[in-house]
């Protein structure tokens, strides 16, 4: 196979996710050629880094939104895992939770790397953390099992879901609760997974949102709610939620993951 065909084969592998629940959220218009080129280029760089990592599972993040006002760099994360396709080629799949078109519902998706980065990110950068070997070994079979993946999934979506409530769930929250379920057989549902994370010192991000900001967000966005947050915190303008940055910090603090690698 010459170099051109190797690149074409790799791009196809990056685009094609296998298994159930593949798809993309709604977009008002198709991506431009430049956006596709940038997304594919980032997917190729990410694939090279993942192949070189020697890992079987990584926590992969993208900068889908500008969260710099909240001192956050990354907006969304999912679990990427290594497998062989039908031809025996090593490829990476990403399992993550996506909100449906700004609605109050979400679903778990399985995608290729290119799809993961073709969602009009704010910045064409990626970040990854290689989990500890034990965590990788526990996560890998779970990530390949559609039924087990949904054990910690709640379809009612809230972008600012309270980390210690089961009323709603956002994407990063699902990723961490799934980690808890993989590490402890007793964390077999969302309440037990959240208890496991609390016991091991996970600390959510605190956003300081005033009442006018909260009212405006709740009135105009179907995927934002605050009624799962404790009143004492909500009415003192402290909104706690699960973020990529806090997950990365916690993984390193607990030695469940290596240092963050940033791909530009």
CATH number of the domain residue 226 falls in:
3.90.1720.10
Do 108 and 17 meet the contact criterion of CB atoms below 8 Å apart? Answer: no
Look-up: residue for tokens 């965590």? 135
Full residue range of the structural domain in which residue 145 is found: 3-263
Q: Which residues contact 178 (CB under 8 A, 6 or more apart)?
A: 79, 139, 142, 149, 152, 193
* Spatial CA neighbour of 146 closest among 50, 60, 22: 22
Number of domains forming the structure of the chain? 1
What pLDDT is recorded for position 220? 61
Q: Is 151 in contact with 142 (CB distance < 8 Å)?
A: no
Give the Cα separation of 234 and 255 in Å (integer). 32
Q: What is the pLDDT of residue 19?
A: 36
Question: How do strand 76-84 and strand 90-99 relate by DSSP bridges?
Answer: antiparallel
pLDDT at 45: 97
Distance CA 165, CA 227 (A): 10
Cβ-Cβ contacts under 8 Å for 96 (sequence gap 6 or more)? 76, 77, 78, 79, 108, 109, 111, 116, 171, 174, 175
pLDDT at 85: 83
Inter-CA distances, 109 with 29, 90, 139, Å: 21, 20, 16
DSSP letter string, 221-258: -TT---TTS-HHHHTTTEEEE--HHHHHHHHHHTTSB-
Residue 212: what pLDDT? 55
The span from the CA of 211 to the CA of 238, in Å, is 10
The Cα 144–Cα 81 span in angstroms is 9
Q: Which residues are 131's β-sheet partners?
A: 257
Q: Check if the beta carbon of residue 229 is closer than 8 Å to that of residue 162.
A: yes
Distance separating alpha carbons of residues 184 and 223, to the nearest angstrom:
30
Q: pTM value?
A: 0.89
pLDDT at 23: 34
| Rounded-to-integer distance, Cα 45 and Cα 42, Å | 5
Query: Mean pLDDT of successive 10-residue segments in the chain (264 residues)?
Result: 44 44 53 92 97 97 95 97 89 96 93 93 96 98 95 97 98 98 97 98 93 62 91 92 98 98 96
pLDDT of residue 24: 42
């Amino acid at each position: 196979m010459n170099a051109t065909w190797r690149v074409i084969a790799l791009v196809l592998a990056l685009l094609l996710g296998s298994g159930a629940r593949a798809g993309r959220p709604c977009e008002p218009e198709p991506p431009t050629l430049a956006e596709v080129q940038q997304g594919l280029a980032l997917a190729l760089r990410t694939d090279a880094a993942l192949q070189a990592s020697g890992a079987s599972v990584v926590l992969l993040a993208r900068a889908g939104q500008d969260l710099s006002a909240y001192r956050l760099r990354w907006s969304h994360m999912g679990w990427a895992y290594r497998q062989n396709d039908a031809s025996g080629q090593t490829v990476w799949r990403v399992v993550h939770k996506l909100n449906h078109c700004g609605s109050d519902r979400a679903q778990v998706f399985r995608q290729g790397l290119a799809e993961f980065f073709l969602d009009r990110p704010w910045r064409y950068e990626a970040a990854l953390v290689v989990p500890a070997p034990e965590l990788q070994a526990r996560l890998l079979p779970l990530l390949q099992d559609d039924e087990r993946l949904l054990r910690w999934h709640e379809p009612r979506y809230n972008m600012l879901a309270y980390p210690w409530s089961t009323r709603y769930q956002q994407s990063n929250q699902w990723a961490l609760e799934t980690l808890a379920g993989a590490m402890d057989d007793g964390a077999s549902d969302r309440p037990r997974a959240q208890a496991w994370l609390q016991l091991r010192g996970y600390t959510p991000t605190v956003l300081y949102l005033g009442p006018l900001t909260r009212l405006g967000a709740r009135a105009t966005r179907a995927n934002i709610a605050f009624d799962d947050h404790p009143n004492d915190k909500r009415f003192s303008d402290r909104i706690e939620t699960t973020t990529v940055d806090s997950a990365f910090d916690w993984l390193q603090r607990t030695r469940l993951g290596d240092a963050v690698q940033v791909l530009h």
